[in-house]
Amino acid sequence: MNRLTIVRFARLICLASLVVGLLAGCTTGTVPVYRIGLMLPLSGRYRDTGVDVFFATRMALLNALAADPAVVAVVGHWRPETTQAAQPAYQAAGLPLITAEAAAEAAASADTYTLNIRPEVWQATIDAYLSEASIDDAAVFPQAPDLGVTEAARLALNSDAGLRLGGFDWGLAQFRDLIRAADQAPSGELWFLTHAGWPQELAGAEAFRGAILNSDIGNAVEPGPISALAHDAVAVALAAINRAHSDGLVSRETVSEAIGSITVTGWTGDITFDGDGYRLQAPLYLYRWGETDAPVLLERLQ
């Protein structure tokens, strides 16, 4: 039985809900079957994000078969604006959410856990780098937070700064394509600082790539920058459910408590969250867009 349900909304980002059961063993016995809801775009502007997420999460859950009990955690939505829009419903239901990127107000909400670091840590990290590199702030165009990729590309193209500097959205292939499709390519540098590193930056890069491409999930594509985060988000949910089960009760509340207290070692490193649900010591990669389809890593800053 196919347990992948895809719901398309006309002229909006398409979201897929992958509902999977979790059948994992532990020393206290077999964990009953629960669900994780996965939300991702499969067409439109952010479709490459969804493709990345889909194959990585299917690989992570290859041996976890589906059944019918209640959803106890959600992995998604992968866009700050969609996370923020859905957050009130999740909060009302007490449903924990693990996301790769969220608007600041959504990320700090109860039961929301983002794999990104606190915004002020991101800012302090890039400020310190620019200072050490003797790059004048006046020569830098910084992207405003929580912009969509289209608006981010428009502002970057309209700036005459010698260095244009962005974040998570600037790492998407659509940002690169929008820049290249412009009537006049921007002069100067295009850099971005992101926690979503390309697979080649992972310590186990070849193992991760091989696990996706050589698995039995079928039609897998080359993993991109969101894939390792997606895999690790599911791994956190699995570990939290196992923790709640070993403690004697699996519910949305106990799973959320477990997410906030455990440490999981994933492809992107150790994952643990602070009291507001931000990831502690998330990796940060500084990239430069050039002529190739993949950006060039300038430096790993954390």
- In whole numbers, what is the pLDDT of the chain averaged over residues? 81
Exposure string over 169-188, b if 16+ CB within 10 A, otherwise e? bbbbbbbbebbeeeeeebee
Across 160-173, average pLDDT: 90
3-state secondary structure of 188: coil
279 inside domain = no
Judgement on whether residues 101 and 238 belong to the same structural domain of the protein: yes
278 inside domain = no
Judgement on whether residues 232 and 163 belong to the same structural domain of the protein: no
Place of tokens 């998407």: 172
pLDDT of 59: 64
Q: Is 238 within 8 Å of 75 (Cβ atoms)?
A: no
38 inside domain = yes
Q: Is 6 within 8 Å of 48 (Cβ atoms)?
A: no
277 inside domain = no
Residue 191 phi/psi, 5° resolution?
-115, 155
Across 199-225, average pLDDT: 88
131 inside domain = yes
Judgement on whether residues 238 and 99 belong to the same structural domain of the protein: yes
For 197: left if phi > 0, alpha if psi spans -120 to 50, otherwise beta; the answer is: beta
Q: Is 217 exposed, middle or buried (0-12, 13-18, 19+ CB in 10 A)?
A: middle
186 inside domain = yes
Across 13-27, average pLDDT: 36
Is residue 13 predicted with pLDDT exceeding 90? no
The pairing of strands 140-142 and 163-166 is parallel
179 inside domain = yes
Judgement on whether residues 47 and 162 belong to the same structural domain of the protein: no
Is residue 218 predicted with pLDDT exceeding 80? no
DSSP 100: S
Judgement on whether residues 18 and 99 belong to the same structural domain of the protein: yes
Single out the residue of 128, 135, 137, 196 nearest to residue 167, CA to CA.
Answer: 196
Q: What is the dihedral of CA 140, 141, 142, 145, to 10 degrees?
A: 180
Highest mean pLDDT among 34-48, 71-85, 169-183: 169-183
Least confident of 21-35, 168-182, 259-273: 21-35
Cα 48–chain centre separation: 12
Judgement on whether residues 178 and 61 belong to the same structural domain of the protein: no
Is residue 19 predicted with pLDDT exceeding 50? no
Copy the structure tokens of residue 234: 């599911």
Least confident of 11-15, 44-48, 218-222: 11-15
Please give the residue that has the higher pLDDT: either 275 or 137.
Answer: 275
Residue 239: enclosing H or E segment and its boundaries? Answer: helix 227-246
Q: Is the pTM of this model over 0.75?
A: yes
Across 226-235, average pLDDT: 94
Write out the residue range of the structural domain in which residue 143 sits: 119-199+285-300
Is residue 113 predicted with pLDDT exceeding 70? yes
Q: Tell me how crowded residue 103 is: count the other CB atoms within 10 A of its CB.
A: 20
Find the CATH number of the domain harbouring 78.
3.40.50.2300
**What is the rounded CA–CA span in Å between residue 288 and residue 112?**
31
Least confident of 8-12, 19-23, 108-112, 282-286: 8-12
Judgement on whether residues 14 and 133 belong to the same structural domain of the protein: no
Judgement on whether residues 43 and 90 belong to the same structural domain of the protein: yes
Judgement on whether residues 210 and 96 belong to the same structural domain of the protein: yes
Q: What is the dihedral of CA 301, 283, 169, 198, to 10 degrees?
A: 100
Least confident of 135-139, 162-166, 250-254: 135-139
280 inside domain = no
Across 4-15, average pLDDT: 28
pLDDT of 265: 96
Q: Is 244 within 8 Å of 237 (Cβ atoms)?
A: no
Judgement on whether residues 101 and 127 belong to the same structural domain of the protein: no
pLDDT (tens digit per residue) in 246-287: 999 999 999 999 999 999 999 999 999 999 999 999 999 999
pLDDT of 101: 84
Judgement on whether residues 13 and 151 belong to the same structural domain of the protein: no
Please give the residue that has the higher pLDDT: either 55 or 286.
Answer: 286
For 179: left if phi > 0, alpha if psi spans -120 to 50, otherwise beta; the answer is: alpha
Q: Tell me how crowded residue 4 is: count the other CB atoms within 10 A of its CB.
A: 13
Is residue 84 predicted with pLDDT exceeding 90? no
Judgement on whether residues 251 and 171 belong to the same structural domain of the protein: no
Q: Is 39 within 8 Å of 19 (Cβ atoms)?
A: no
Look at the chain and report how many structural domains it folds into: 2
